[in-house]
Amino acid sequence: MKFTVSTLCLVTAPGAGRQQRYHHGDLHRALVEAGTGLAREGGPSAIVLREAARRVGVSANAAYRHFSALPDLVQAVAFDALSALARSMEAELAQCSPSGDAGRDAIGRLGAVGRGYIHFALSEPGLFATAFAPPKWTTYTGQAPTRSGNHAARTDGGLPGAGDSGMMANELLGQALDGMLDAGVLDAADRDTAATNAWGAVHGLSMLLLGPLAGQAPSAQEALIDAYLDLICRGLVTRKSI
Amino acid sequence: MKFTVSTLCLVTAPGAGRQQRYHHGDLHRALVEAGTGLAREGGPSAIVLREAARRVGVSANAAYRHFSALPDLVQAVAFDALSALARSMEAELAQCSPSGDAGRDAIGRLGAVGRGYIHFALSEPGLFATAFAPPKWTTYTGQAPTRSGNHAARTDGGLPGAGDSGMMANELLGQALDGMLDAGVLDAADRDTAATNAWGAVHGLSMLLLGPLAGQAPSAQEALIDAYLDLICRGLVTRKSI
DNA sequence: CGCTGGATGTTGACACCGTGAACTTGCCAT
DNA sequence: ATGGCAAGTTCACGGTGTCAACATCCAGCG
């Protein structure tokens, strides 16, 4: 005899007497979380529909009531991963304490954004890879993941792909750059180029640290990260101002 | 009636009366080339053993006489892609003409290496993704792809993963940095950090151009690339020398 | 020259996977 | 209460990676 539906609800749903419109509390959410677990262990390609359903205790095809196909699930997991990335950045930003020098502080916040990015990549390589794995990898439609999509809300009701502040990773980067603009350490004309440069550089270093440069001692990695971010900032900052 | 083995040889082998030790001229090579075709069209995940065997006109399990498993084939394709990457760099380097100023020339050659990298990524995104897709993505053993492996030679007998000059992509980068060292535009103490920085930056930009920044006009991409490489070089070059 | 052994390729089978179609169940509004 | 629709199930199909057993062909030996 298998579990009855109500039993499943008790097992899977978060305990509390939360009213549930569907047979299974919130299968959509449960599947995304199961998929996140799979992605954490094995990257985007480890997200397997049948296994996710199995972990939730539901038949394989039940997933098709919530996702049109596998790539849909992967994308939902990717959005969650993007949220986690943004939260990692926010955590680094929270450690920035003002020093009086506006320019230095602004640059410091840019560095914090980068550090949050890289630290997330290193601590959650599977989710990181998932966040940036294009749905069909080759036919990427262009434009970064943005909140324009029609995706369900996050677990805690936040904006899809956003961190606790409600901002997505690229928005946090943009905010840091705007801070540099205000502080006068970045030319307005360079802002968009700077965004690309910073993002690309940090992304590239993350890839390197996860791949060819993996296995280095954490301290060596940390030193590498600092030197790298220093280089990026040095390149971005207006020539005359530092 | 199916093709006889000798017929297959005539179809698949490169025409010439090259003696063949195996039943099928060179199944190993043929499978790698079929896999390369698949990777070109759909990235590493499109490399499918059965389809590669099908394209070669051979039974699916024949591949297991040459590759222990699918990841082995993928890695062989990745090595070929690495060779193509090195050749793309060499092509850019060949367009560098000396200008008399050793420092400027050295920096120009570093830029050429980067341009070759990015151009390869843009012109062969599938192979590019394959080249840097870790075998088991998460359990990357560390260290960059190097010729220490026990892999078969390239089609034309070159070193595995190397370009026409016999150097791998990272060796070409190293050579460019050494040139900067000799020209005095790079501190010896910064060389290794510079290698990481340059590689990471260029890799990141490639990813960006293939993903979020795809769809931009080629001219805009080219401008972005130039601005980016300029930034990198500006950051790398010894402060006082330029 | 004929034989034989090992490398090469084939067939059959199994367990997975993604996905479609048809069926069943249970909740909600009428 | 009841009919309809959303949510979940079962059955089925083609595709994939991989193992085991079998067939074939070439090289090197007598």
Report which residue type is found at B150: N
Averaged pLDDT score across all residues of chain A:
82
- Contact A235/A186 with Cβ under 8 angstroms? no
Over 70: is that where the pLDDT of A43 sits? yes
Over 80: is that where the pLDDT of A155 sits? no
Distance B58 CA to D11 C1' (A): 33
| Residue bearing the bigger pLDDT, A19 or B80 | B80
Tokens at residue A51, please?
């296994």
pLDDT in tens, A83-104: 999 999 999 999 999 999 999 9
Q: Using CB atoms, pick whichever of A125, A203, A205 lies closest to residue B208.
A: A203
What are the chain B neighbours of A212 within 8 Å (beta carbons)?
142-145
Spatial distance between the Cα atoms of B30 and B73, rounded to a whole number of angstroms: 11
SS (H, E, C) chain A: CCCCHHHHHHHHCCCCCCCCCECCECHHHHHHHHHHHHHHHHCHHHCCHHHHHHHHCCCHHHHHHCCCCHHHHHHHHHHHHHHHHHHHHHHHHHCCCCCCCHHHHHHHHHHHHHHHHHHHHHHCHHHHHHHCCCCCCCCCCCCCCCCCCCCCCCCCCCCCCECCCCCEHHHHHHHHHHHHHHHCCCCHHHHHHHHHHHHHHHHHHHHHHHCCCCCCCHHHHHHHHHHHHHHHHHHHCCHHHC
- Within 7 Å of a protein beta carbon, the nucleotides of strand C are 7-13, 16-22, 25-28
Q: Using CB atoms, pick whichever of A42, A208, A228 lies closest to residue B138.
A: A42
Residue A22 bridge partners (DSSP): A25
In this complex, do A231 and B236 lie within 8 Å of one another by their Cβ atoms?
yes
In this complex, do B138 and A213 lie within 8 Å of one another by their Cβ atoms?
no
| Residue bearing the bigger pLDDT, B2 or A134 | A134
Strands (E), A46-173: none
List residue ranges whose Cβ is under 7 angstroms from nucleic strand D.
A 2, 5, 21-24, 27, 58-62, 64-66; B 4-6, 21, 23, 47-51, 60-61, 64, 69-71
A-B contacts (CB, under 8 Å): 132
What are the chain A neighbours of B210 within 8 Å (beta carbons)?
140
What nucleotide is nearest B6 when CA is compared to C1'?
Answer: D25
pTM for the predicted model, two decimal places = 0.85
> What is the model's pLDDT at position A230?
83
Q: Strand C: which residues 66-85 of B lie within 7 A (CB)?
A: 66
In this complex, do B205 and A196 lie within 8 Å of one another by their Cβ atoms?
yes
Strands (E), B163-222: none
Using pLDDT thresholds of 50, 70 and 90, give the confidence band for residue A201: confident
Tens place of pLDDT for every residue, chain B, 242 residues? 333 333 333 334 443 333 344 577 789 999 999 999 999 999 999 999 999 999 999 999 999 999 999 999 999 999 999 999 999 999 999 999 999 999 999 999 999 999 999 999 999 999 999 998 866 543 333 344 555 444 444 445 578 889 999 999 999 999 999 999 999 999 898 888 888 888 888 988 998 898 878 888 999 999 989 888 887 887 777 554 44
Tokens at residue B103, please?
């420092």
CA closest to C16 C1', residue? A50
Distance B20 CA to D25 C1' (A): 13
What are the chain A neighbours of B132 within 8 Å (beta carbons)?
207, 211
Over 90: is that where the pLDDT of A233 sits? no
pLDDT in tens, A203-222: 989 988 988 788 889 999 99
Q: CB of B59 under 7 A from strand C?
A: yes
| Residue bearing the bigger pLDDT, B116 or A5 | B116
Nearest CA in chain B to A234: B235
> What is the model's pLDDT at position A157?
59
pLDDT in tens, A29-41: 999 999 999 999 9
What nucleotide is nearest B20 when CA is compared to C1'?
Answer: D26
| Residue bearing the bigger pLDDT, A224 or A13 | A224
In this complex, do B42 and A143 lie within 8 Å of one another by their Cβ atoms?
no
What nucleotide is nearest A24 when CA is compared to C1'?
Answer: D7
> What is the model's pLDDT at position B239?
54
Spatial distance between the Cα atoms of B213 and A141, rounded to a whole number of angstroms: 9
Spatial distance between the Cα atoms of A118 and A210, rounded to a whole number of angstroms: 10
